Structure 1
Amino acid sequence: MIRAHQLTKRFADRTAVDGIDFVVEPGRVTGFLGPNGAGKSTTMRMILGLDAPTSGTVSVNGHRYAASPAPLREIGALLDAHAIHPGRSARDHLRWMAASNGIPTTRVGEVLDLVGLDSVAGQRAGRFSLGMGQRLGIAAAMLGDPPVVVLDEPVNGLDPEGIRWVRTFARQLADEGRTVFISSHLMSEMALMADHLLVIGRGTILADCSMTEFMTDHAASYVRVKAPALGDVAHLLTGRGLDVTRVDDEIRVGGLDAASIGDLVFSRGLAVHELTLVRSSLEDAFMALTADSVEYHATAASEGAAR
């Protein structure tokens, strides 16, 4: 379990993290989301003792991570896949990490096999692609078989097979009862991976809830209706005070569920060919929530510049 209480970090005149409270529970995948500059990396660095809080506390399984005599057995982390000596082989990189934490060298082969790097274990890490570096970083995180796993952008540079593997692997770790905390900008994957979301913006917590609750609270939805007499259906629903918008050969209705819309239209003797609930994506919901927390806003390119 990871627990933060009034966690704050200031750099000169800038507050990166501003008195946040949260708990990352075991047995579920918690996604950590936020725009660039929101405080995600700083928060993760404070969890791992790489940055000292200005005030407040953060603990891993009841104590400061830095106080652990064998850190890799306490928490496995991937913050920077490039934090590897380029002249050292993948196997040797893991061997010295194992030796420093009293982990049997047999574990090195196990984690290399786990992440699919056993066949290139003797190659220098400097020759690895970004995706291979990510896999090696995950192998290092799992070296001590830790109960807590923290991964920052773990699918960067991975191919579709690798992305699916990370998703399945995270789910497996949570099912084993471990605490899994993952930061990512890839919303489509987070939607498939996370059970719980922690959203940060400008150093403050914007949301701390289950994925289901987040989508219910922040994702817009409407019912798509297609019918032969579309104008009559739209007139009927508008007359009932519903929000009705016509788009090409369909109308989009807000304020009533699909079944109730179907019953109402049928009661007036009108045919319906489609009733579909459409909910916006996690990306749309995230963008709506964090719109006022984005530090850098891009402007649309002009037609000439785009060319």
Structure 2
Amino acid sequence: MISARELTKRYGDRVAVDGIDFDIRPGKVTGFLGPNGAGKSTTMRMILGLDRASSGTVTVNGRPYSNARAPLREVGALLEAQAIHPGRSALDHLRWLAASNDISTARVRQILDQVGLEDVAGRRAGKFSLGMRQRLGIASALIGDPPVVILDEPVNGLDSEGIRWVRRLCRRLADEGRTVFVSSHLMAEMSLTADHLIVIGQGRILADASMTEFMTAHAPSFVRVRTPDRERAREAISRNGTRVDLVDDELRVDSLDVAGIGDTLYAAEVRVHELSGVQCSLEEAFMALTADTVEYQAGPEAAAPIAQGAL
């Protein structure tokens, strides 16, 4: 388990992480979300002892990670896939890590096969694609078979098969009872992977909840009704106290009982052009929650089409 209490990091007058508390528990995948500059990478670096906290504490399984005698056997981490000597082969890179933590050569071969790099084990890492370096970084994190795994943007550079592989890997590690802490900007992927979410903005915790609790609280669901008889439809649906809002040219009903609403409209002889249940996505919920904490935000002209001949 990873535990933080009043964890704070200052760089001069700037507060990067502002007194946060959390527990990342084993047996589940915990997703770590936040806009750029929110403090995610700084928090992960403090967990690993790469950055010293200005105040507060963070421990891994009850003690600071910097006190670990065989660090790779306790925590496996991927923070930067490029942090590999370009002239060293994948095999030699993992052999060097294994030797530093008294890990067998047999484990090196096993992990190369597990991440799909066995056939290129002798190739220099500098010749690897971004996706291959990402796989090697994940192999480095898993080399010690650690009970705690921390992955910062692990699917960067991976194709669809690789992204699905990382998703299954995280799920398997959690199912084995390990603590899995993953950051990502790919909300659709995180919604398929994480059991629990910690959302940070401007260095503060904005949400710490299970995926189900988070979606219930921040991703509203409703039934969309499109009809030429909007007033009659609204009157029929709202008779039992159900909230009905008019948004543009559609009614939004505070419910997901599509069948029940359909029966109500049929009984009221209301013509219906569309009747559908809508669940907001994790991305929409995240954007709404963090809207006031985005540090770098493009202006409206960024989304405007480029005029012909402007290039």
TM-score range, shorter chain: over 0.9
Give the corresponding residue for 1:115. Answer: 115
* Alpha-carbon offset, residue 220 of structure 1: 2.8
Q: Which range moves more in the overlay, 183-192 or 259-268?
A: 259-268
Q: After superposition, what is the alpha-carbon deviation per residue over 1:84-118, rounded to whole angstroms, capped at 9, x for unaligned?
A: 00000000000010000011111100000000000
CA distance in structure 2 between the aligned counterparts of 1:242 and 1:225, rounded to whole angstroms = 10
Give the corresponding residue for 2:60. Answer: 60
* Alpha-carbon offset, residue 256 of structure 1: 3.5
CA distance in structure 2 between the aligned counterparts of 1:144 and 1:252, rounded to whole angstroms = 55
- Conserved? CA contact 1:46–1:58, under 8 Å: yes
Give the corresponding residue for 1:252. Answer: 251
Q: CA RMSD in A?
A: 2.0
CA distance in structure 2 between the aligned counterparts of 1:52 and 1:166, rounded to whole angstroms = 30
Corresponding residue pairs, total: 304
Work out whether 1:142 is the aligned partner of 2:142: yes
Q: Which runs of 5+ in 2 are unaligned?
A: none
Structure 1 residue identity aligned to 2:65: Y
Give the corresponding residue for 2:16. Answer: 16
* Alpha-carbon offset, residue 272 of structure 1: 5.2
* Alpha-carbon offset, residue 255 of structure 1: 2.4
Query: What TM-score do you get using the length of structure 1 for normalisation?
Result: 0.93
CA distance in structure 1 between the aligned counterparts of 2:292 and 2:247, rounded to whole angstroms = 27
Give the corresponding residue for 2:181. Answer: 181
* Alpha-carbon offset, residue 227 of structure 1: 5.8
- Conserved? CA contact 2:224–2:278, under 8 Å: yes
Matches within 5 A, 1:112-261: 112-226=112-226, 232-234=232-234, 236-237=236-237, 242-245=244-247, 247=249, 251-258=250-257, 259-261=259-261
CA distance in structure 1 between the aligned counterparts of 2:295 and 2:248, rounded to whole angstroms = 35
Give the corresponding residue for 2:276. Answer: 276
SS in 2 for 1:85: coil
Q: After superposition, what is the alpha-carbon deviation per residue over 1:37-62, rounded to whole angstroms, capped at 9, x for unaligned?
A: 10000000000000011110000011
* Alpha-carbon offset, residue 268 of structure 1: 2.1
Q: After superposition, what is the alpha-carbon deviation per residue over 1:96-154, rounded to whole angstroms, capped at 9, x for unaligned?
A: 10000011111100000000000000000000010000000000000000000000000
CA distance in structure 2 between the aligned counterparts of 1:128 and 1:304, rounded to whole angstroms = 35
- Conserved? CA contact 1:219–1:279, under 8 Å: yes
Structure 1 residue identity aligned to 2:97: M
CA distance in structure 2 between the aligned counterparts of 1:16 and 1:6, rounded to whole angstroms = 13
- Conserved? CA contact 2:226–2:251, under 8 Å: no
* Alpha-carbon offset, residue 273 of structure 1: 6.9
Report % sequence identity.
64
SS in 1 for 2:225: strand
Give the corresponding residue for 2:85. Answer: 85
SS in 1 for 2:18: strand
1:207–1:230 CA distance, 2 compared to 1 (3 A): same
- Conserved? CA contact 1:222–1:252, under 8 Å: no
SS in 2 for 1:107: helix
Structure 2 residue identity aligned to 1:255: D
* Alpha-carbon offset, residue 260 of structure 1: 4.2
SS in 2 for 1:81: coil
Query: What TM-score do you get using the length of structure 2 for normalisation?
Result: 0.92
* Alpha-carbon offset, residue 232 of structure 1: 4.0
* Alpha-carbon offset, residue 228 of structure 1: 8.1
CA distance in structure 1 between the aligned counterparts of 2:253 and 2:6, rounded to whole angstroms = 40
- Conserved? CA contact 1:237–1:244, under 8 Å: no
